Copies of this chain bind each other. A is one copy, B any other.
Amino acid sequence: MAVTVSSVAEVCARARDASRALAATDTATKNGALRAIARALRSREAEILAANELDLQDGCEADIGAALLDRLRLDGERVEAIAAAVEAVAALGDAVGEVIEGYRLPNGLDVRKVRVPLGVVAVVYEARPNVTIDAAALCLKSGNAIVLRGSSSATQSNAVLASIASEAAVGAGLPEGCIGLIGSPTHPGGHEELAELATQEGVVDLLIPRGGEGLKAALKNVATVPVIYAASGNCHIYVDASADLDQALAIVLNAKTQRPGVCNAVETVLVHADVATDFLLSAIPALRAEGVELRADMRAGALSGEHPELNAAGEEDWDAEYLALTLAIGVVDSVEQAIEHIARYGSGHSEAILTKDTASARAFQLGVDAACVYVNASTRFTDGGEFGMGAEIGNSTQKLHARGPIGLRELCTFKYLIEGSGHVRA
């Protein structure tokens, strides 16, 4: 496979050109292209695995560690899963063209607010090569051209995946340049390229970083294009005085242990003082049995009969997004105190109250400022798939444009279409 090295500006300019044709491409053509991509991924599995093997060898030599190697590794099953995910995106409804609202003005002008693609979406991501295809599928389905910039540890895999997807998409009628990749095996690029990508004003309409705090920080200092920073999740569950304590324990266990490394996992449980002893006496052993390390504040320590000095929770624990089997526990005297704590330490991602009391539930939903506010459910449901959006390209804790899962609709903007019959303004 010939890899042409293009400058960041060239890749972005081609994507810009492609985006104009893509915006006018009908749903059937876009879906056909996605299904062609899925077929190509399956039929060219050997190429993908061969390229991936080269990345894995480089990773071993560079000693990147077992966890990163596992994230990097593809096999037949994973390639099939990637192809199936593309087909799932093809099966979703098209957000483009949806009339968000429409009305006739008193002067007779007809106004429609219609969803349209953003244009060019850039996605910067780390490690997992499946993101190459997942992100491309969501962007193409929403009528956007995509510029991808993956991890240097996955350049061989990403190059083959992007090339296969691009060939299949163009073969199925999408415009050349609709999938652009920055960085190639012979020219992986560095921070200068990231900075160049993040400053393509008027060309890149949205940049989505999918990676750690280092990547976010690097972008914050240079980006002049719009960026939606993927969420960090310091999520809380508040166990109200009226909570069903068995249900509360099941939810806390689920939210902490079902998949502790993700942003919608719970990091702090706040318990009302009235039920703290009862709840903690069953919760502490149950959580420990699942391997959870607990950091309790003084009152939680005392009320649970544990020695207060054991794993004492401090300011850094309230701030922590552990992303691990660690949980901070605090005691509060009211739903208002819980809301205060969350306002101070929460990251605005997912917050839950467990209660039987309608007044507490309403106060919590009204008072907590977060993307997702749950009553009697696990925080783990914050996810585009779970929310019925089909898939997501990330999760936003920003308040502008997209908050919560970023799905097809969030990859769109809108325009007003106004129709008259010679109307002039008086």
Contacts and interface: CB of A to CB of B under 8 A. Distances in A.
Interface of A: 20, 23-24, 103, 105, 109, 111, 116, 118-119, 205-206, 220, 224, 226, 228, 244, 247, 250-251, 253-255, 258, 343, 361, 365-367, 369-378, 380-382, 386-388, 398-401, 403-404, 413-425
B369 A20 contact: yes
A418 B367 contact: no
B226 A398 contact: yes
Contacts of A255: 424
A274 to B, nearest CB: 20
Given A372-B416, A373-B418, A387-B416, A423 B103 contact: no
Given A254-B425, A369-B415, A109 B400 contact: no
A258 B424 contact: yes
A425 B256 CA distance: 11
A35 to B, nearest CB: 24
A270 to B, nearest CB: 18
A376 B425 contact: no
Nearest to A409: B101
Contacts of A378: 423-425
Contacts of A253: 424
A400 B399 CA distance: 11
Nearest to A224: B220
B418 A375 contact: yes
User: Max chain B CB contacts within 10 Å: which of A343, A373, A415?
Assistant: A415
A418 B372 contact: yes
A420 B365 contact: no
Contacts of A373: 415-418
B401 A366 contact: no
A398 B415 CA distance: 11
Contacts of A424: 250-251, 253-255, 258, 377-378, 380
Contacts of A365: 417
Contacts of A399: 118-119, 205-206, 226, 413
B419 A386 contact: no
Contacts of A376: 419-423
A373 to B, nearest CB: 5
Contact of A401 (B382, B400, B422): B400
Nearest to A374: B418
Contact of A413 (B119, B377, B382, B403): B403
Contact of A415 (B226, B370, B419, B421): B370
A105 to B, nearest CB: 6
A95 to B, nearest CB: 13
B367 A415 contact: no
26 contacts: A20-B343, A24-B366, A109-B381, A116-B369, A118-B399, A119-B369, A119-B399, A244-B422, A251-B423, A255-B424, A361-B419, A365-B417, A370-B415, A371-B416, A375-B419, A375-B420, A376-B419, A376-B420, A377-B419, A377-B423, A378-B424, A378-B425, A399-B413, A401-B401, A404-B415, A404-B416
